[in-house]
Amino acid sequence: MFIKIDFESDMPIYEQLRRQIIKGIAKGDLEKGEQLPSVRQLAEDIGINLHTVNKTYNILKEEGYLAIDRRKGAMVKDIMPMVDEEYINNLYSELEYIIANSYCRGISKEEFLKLCEDIYDRLENKQGGEKYD
Amino acid sequence: MFIKIDFESDMPIYEQLRRQIIKGIAKGDLEKGEQLPSVRQLAEDIGINLHTVNKTYNILKEEGYLAIDRRKGAMVKDIMPMVDEEYINNLYSELEYIIANSYCRGISKEEFLKLCEDIYDRLENKQGGEKYD
DNA sequence: ATATCTGTTATATAATATATATAACAAGTA
DNA sequence: TACTTGTTATATATATTATATAACAGATAT
């Protein structure tokens, strides 16, 4: 896999892992229906504990990203999770904070939107193969 | 003050407080040079411990938002913190995650940019008074 | 001078979150 | 039978978060 954990980071390992898997799905590095490594395998690859991987997998299952089959392990769901009210509220509040912080520091609306646009474009180009790098 | 703490939240109190102060500065609810309540006063108002407020104030001082005078207390700095490389890297990585999450859930680039634009506009209109609500 | 207000420092305590280690289990597969 | 899944349980260690209490230096107001 493509996982890189920063053991010096303030962010918990299980959360770093969770975010990288979501990024992986968004980029298409992880395709829908694709099998993920077993909790033991991934834990060994990264050099962390099996329970930490298990925690991440279960959170992602709860969020609607993964399906977990007791015998086959975890796979990326065919259908991605919904945009419910809770998600929107969270997104709004998170963006409100990030934008407030950027705004205070003098980042203009245009700069900020450009940054978001670039990130979005980079995702969409990655979809369906490695046409661009 | 305008602080509302959610004691059920997973987010630490000191971090909720930190974000609300940053939002307050961005909105202009807290003006540059303005005095903040003393750590004891604010702690009492919110119903939390003095040290929790103190922690937030010191983080915000470290980040360049506040100046703390031992005798007068904390005030909003006249000059806002810089956009250094560390901040940009953090912002990028944070947005990359948020956008990946939104993208997976089917939020289009246009929807996302519109949301950011609205949040930005709302901030800018709040500046310098209550012209709009 | 005295009382009162700042932030600061120190110490202690409790609860929770994070991460690991080890072992065992049920169920499916080779 | 041996090996693979995730799962469950137990235990332990460490770090984070939050609180409580007390005291201190320095400035300010009465």
Is A45 within a domain? yes
Is B133 within a domain? no
For position B131, what pLDDT does the model report? 37
Same domain for B100 and B66: no
Same domain for A104 and A62: no
Nearest partner of B87 among A110, A112, A89, A23, judged by Cα: A112
Q: Which two tokens stand for residue A96?
A: 């409100």
Judge contact between B1 and B37, C-beta under 8 A: yes
Residue B132 has pLDDT above 70, yes or no: no
B24–chain A nearest CA distance, Å: 9
Q: Which residue has the tokens 């305008």?
A: B2
| Binary contact (B22, A104; C-beta < 8 A) | yes
Question: Residue B70: which pLDDT band, with cuts at 50, 70 and 90?
Answer: confident
Question: Residue B125: which pLDDT band, with cuts at 50, 70 and 90?
Answer: confident
Is B2 within a domain? no
pTM listed for this prediction: 0.92
Q: Which of A53, A76, A99 is the last residue of a domain?
A: A76
Same domain for A60 and A18: yes
For position B129, what pLDDT does the model report? 41
Residue A46 has pLDDT above 60, yes or no: yes
Is A5 within a domain? no
Strands B66-69 and A66-69: unpaired
Judge contact between B26 and B44, C-beta under 8 A: no
Q: Which of B76, B96, B111 is the last residue of a domain?
A: B76
* pLDDT tens per residue, range A70-125: 888 999 999 999 999 999 999 999 999 999 999 999 999 999 999 999 999 999 88
> Out of A23-27, A67-71, B107-111, which region has the weakest mean confidence (pLDDT)?
A67-71
Strands B73-76 and A73-76: unpaired
Domain of B24, CATH number, reads 1.10.10.10
> How many domains, chain B?
2
Same domain for A109 and A62: no
For position A125, what pLDDT does the model report? 80
Same domain for A72 and A105: no
Is the shortest CB-to-strand distance from B68 to strand C under 7 Å?
yes
Same domain for B66 and B28: yes
For position A84, what pLDDT does the model report? 95
Query: Could you give the 3-state DSSP secondary structure of residue B28?
Result: coil
Is B23 within a domain? yes
* pLDDT tens per residue, range B17-61: 999 999 999 999 999 999 999 999 999 999 999 999 999 999 999
CA of A67 to C1' of D8 (A): 19
Is A130 within a domain? no
Please report the DSSP string for A41-77 in residue order. Answer: HHHHHHTS-HHHHHHHHHHHHHHTSEEEETTTEEEE-
Same domain for A62 and A114: no
Measured distance CA(B133)–CA(B117) in Å, rounded? 16
Same domain for B72 and B38: yes
Chain B residues lying within 8 Å of A92, measured CB to CB = 115, 119
Nearest partner of B95 among A26, A125, A42, A85, judged by Cα: A26
Is A132 within a domain? no
For position B126, what pLDDT does the model report? 63
- CA A14 to each of CA A34, A75, B37, B49: distance values in angstroms, whole numbers, following the listed order: 20, 17, 37, 30
Same domain for A49 and A22: yes
Is A1 within a domain? no
Judge contact between B113 and A117, C-beta under 8 A: yes
Question: Residue B130: which pLDDT band, with cuts at 50, 70 and 90?
Answer: very low
Q: Which of A76, A93, A110 is the last residue of a domain?
A: A76
Range of the domain at B93: 85-125
Assess B91–A contact: CB distance below 8 Å, yes or no. Answer: yes
Q: Which positions in strand D are less than 7 Å from the protein's CB atoms?
A: 4-10, 16-21, 25-28
Nearest to A105 among B87, B121, B123 (CB): B87
Measured distance CA(A36)–CA(A33) in Å, rounded? 9
* pLDDT tens per residue, range B86-116: 999 999 999 999 999 999 999 999 999 999 9
Same domain for B93 and B67: no
B29–chain A nearest CA distance, Å: 12
Same domain for B65 and B40: yes
Is the shortest CB-to-strand distance from B4 to strand D under 7 Å?
no
Nucleotide nearest residue B50, measured CA to C1': D19
Judge contact between B45 and B1, C-beta under 8 A: yes
For position B19, what pLDDT does the model report? 98
Same domain for B72 and B17: yes
Determine the protein residue whose CA lies at the shortest distance from the C1' of C20. Answer: A49
Nearest to B80 among A65, A105, A109 (CB): A105
